[in-house]
A and B are shown apart, each in its own frame.
Chain A
Amino acid sequence: MVKLAFEHRQAGHCESGVTRNLLNYHHFKISEPMAFGIGAGLFFSYLPFLKMQHAPTTSFRVWPGQVFDRATRELGVKTAVHTFRNPKDSMDKLNEVLEQGYPVGLQVGTFHLPFFPPEYRMHYNMHNMIVYGHENGTYFISDTLMENLVEINYEDLMRVRFAKGAFAPQGRMYYPTHVPARIDIKPAIVKGIRKTANNMVGIPFPLIGVKGIRYLAGRMRKWEKKLGEAKASYYLGQVLRMEEEVGTAGAGFRFIYGAFLEEASTVLNQPWLRELSFEMGENANSWREFSYLGSRNCKKRGKPDQSYDFLADMLIEIANREEKIFKKLSTIK
């Protein structure tokens, strides 16, 4: 049996929270927004040809696993990452690492996660949580979405680690093995900001970054005519679900990113970042307003309360604002 002295802290975003909690365990103090910003987690993409739950995929974040990978790499933290073919091997390895005294991050599917809020139990394979011990086939879990510590049994854990379908976790486990005593966080912050700025305004492809937001706005104007009221509202709902739920801490990570910029301004001693963090905060509030007004279209079988043109105009305004912010951010030194 092992039960590490692990401090459970909730977080807005599962992977950034897991990264923070794991690094904190190894005595490196870092906040959730910092982990998210250095990991360059913010993104936008709208992929109409890729359907998820019968609607086009909208994403406000980068590929799963990138936040932990990037953040630890930029900070010079040594990590171990394993994936498995054989479920039993993955559990043996987990036990072994726990017994060596390392809490472990796991990528899991949420559909069979027994402690998960029922309203979120969909086939979502990109959730992250931490195991910090086990005893007689019961595993002790710290999940940043949950208010309290939780437990899961051997069979269930094996099952969620080997959920199948898109982004199948394949038993993925990861943990820091060596955290340097001194870490210079400044270059990591600058690199993280540059990466995100490039993702948002530097890639000449119409479906991602700021261009992606504009593209979504253009498509949205045609939804009602093309798909009818009910389906249009379902498509809109899907965008809003990705924006406000599944661990974004609200407004598609824009709040977390604003908090990161504010902290970065202090650490780097660059006051202009503070102004931009406030811009980002206002921008996040615009996203929240968008989801608030949009959610009314999702009631009453999709009878639109706001016209889709109006909502699309809001998105264009948001895109313009984000373009300004990220163009400025891309000049960071």
Chain B
Amino acid sequence: MRDTNSEANGKMTSDNELIYKYNRELFYHFDKDKGFTQKVDYQNPNNQVIIKQGWDAAEQRLDEVRQLVIQGKASPIAYYMEKILMEVPMLAAYMEIPKWRVKRHLKSKVFKKIKPETLVKYASVFEITVEELKHPGFLK
């Protein structure tokens, strides 16, 4: 089997730039001769690709929801929920209301009937104003 250590840490850098350079972490390595070693370094490039894949997928989901909102098939709550990377169970936990209510609020028809105080709470969870929640910038 190939020696992945040197490959992952050395050769890969030539065709793969580091994307994330905010903080260096501690990693363990193993080599037959040197045994177990520790090294502080940035995530290696191929792992950074995997991290980026996660963020790209989130962005794509957000794009899709945005389209749905523009077409009137989903409420702005669906958009902002995706924007802060939440799903229904978590948003329901933050809102302190049952999941089925949050699910209903994702429909644009129901959205128009939501009580103002509930909207205020949604806005505070999303860290935006009620105005932004009612009329997201991309709709103008």
Which A residues fall within an 8 A CB radius of B?
10-12, 33, 53-54, 111, 117-120, 122-123, 144-147, 164-166, 168, 233-234, 237-238, 240-241, 244-245, 247, 249-250, 255-256, 258-259, 262, 277-278, 281-282, 284-286, 288-289, 291-292, 295-296, 298-299
Closest chain A residue, CB of each to CB of B55: A119
State the CA gap A234–B49 with chains docked (Å): 12
Known: A250-B27, A256-B28. 14 other contacts (CB 8 A): A11-B26, A12-B26, A119-B55, A147-B40, A165-B94, A244-B47, A244-B50, A245-B51, A247-B25, A282-B32, A284-B28, A285-B3, A285-B30, A288-B4
Q: B117 interface residue, CB < 8 Å from A?
A: no
User: How far in angstroms is the closest Cβ of chain A from B126?
Assistant: 13
8 closest Cβ pairs, A-B complex: A281-B30, A255-B28, A165-B90, A164-B93, A259-B36, A295-B46, A10-B26, A117-B22
Closest chain A residue, CB of each to CB of B46: A295
- Specify which chain B residues have a CB less than 8 angstroms from the CB of A244 in the assembled complex: 43, 47, 50
Check B61–A122 contact: CB distance below 8 A: no
Q: B89 interface residue, CB < 8 Å from A?
A: yes
Check B7–A259 contact: CB distance below 8 A: no
Assuming the contacts A164-B90, A245-B51, A250-B29, asked whether A288 and B57 have C-beta atoms less than 8 A apart, the reply is no
Assuming the contacts A117-B23, A289-B2, asked whether A166 and B90 have C-beta atoms less than 8 A apart, the reply is yes
Return the CB mask of B46-66 against A: 1 if under 8 Å, else 0.
111111011101100100000
Check B29–A298 contact: CB distance below 8 A: no
Check B4–A292 contact: CB distance below 8 A: yes
State the CA gap A233–B50 with chains docked (Å): 10
User: How far in angstroms is the closest Cβ of chain A from B73?
Assistant: 19
State the CA gap A164–B26 with chains docked (Å): 28
Closest chain A residue, CB of each to CB of B24: A147
State the CA gap A149–B24 with chains docked (Å): 13
Question: Among B7, B38, B53, B61, which residue has its beta carbon within 8 angstroms of that of A233?
Answer: B53
Closest chain B residue, CB of each to CB of A257: B28
Check B8–A288 contact: CB distance below 8 A: yes
Main secondary structure of the interface of B (DSSP, over half): mixed
Closest chain B residue, CB of each to CB of A249: B28
Check A168–B93 contact: CB distance below 8 A: yes
Closest chain A residue, CB of each to CB of B58: A53
Assuming the contacts A250-B28, A255-B30, asked whether A298 and B22 have C-beta atoms less than 8 A apart, the reply is no
Closest chain A residue, CB of each to CB of B86: A123
Check A258–B26 contact: CB distance below 8 A: no
Q: Show 9 A/B contacts (Cβ-Cβ < 8 Å), sorted by A.
A: A12-B28, A119-B22, A122-B54, A165-B86, A166-B89, A244-B43, A258-B36, A285-B1, A289-B1
Question: Among A165, A258, A286, which residue has its beta carbon within 8 angstroms of that of B1?
Answer: A286
Assuming the contacts A10-B40, A234-B53, asked whether A146 and B30 have C-beta atoms less than 8 A apart, the reply is no
- Specify which chain B residues have a CB less than 8 angstroms from the CB of A286 in the assembled complex: 1
- Specify which chain B residues have a CB less than 8 angstroms from the CB of A249 in the assembled complex: 26-28
Question: Among B23, B35, B94, which residue has its beta carbon within 8 angstroms of that of A146?
Answer: B23
Assuming the contacts A250-B29, A291-B46, A292-B8, asked whether A241 and B90 have C-beta atoms less than 8 A apart, the reply is no
State the CA gap A255–B34 with chains docked (Å): 13
- Specify which chain A residues have a CB less than 8 angstroms from the CB of B50 in the assembled complex: 237, 240-241, 244-245, 291, 295, 298
User: How far in angstroms is the closest Cβ of chain B from A126?
Assistant: 14
- Specify which chain A residues have a CB less than 8 angstroms from the CB of B8 in the assembled complex: 288, 292
Return the CB mask of B63-102 against A: 1 if under 8 Å, else 0.
0000000000000000000001111011001100000000
- Interface hub of B5, B27, B30, B49 (most chain A Cβ within 10 A): B30
State the CA gap A75–B55 with chains docked (Å): 41
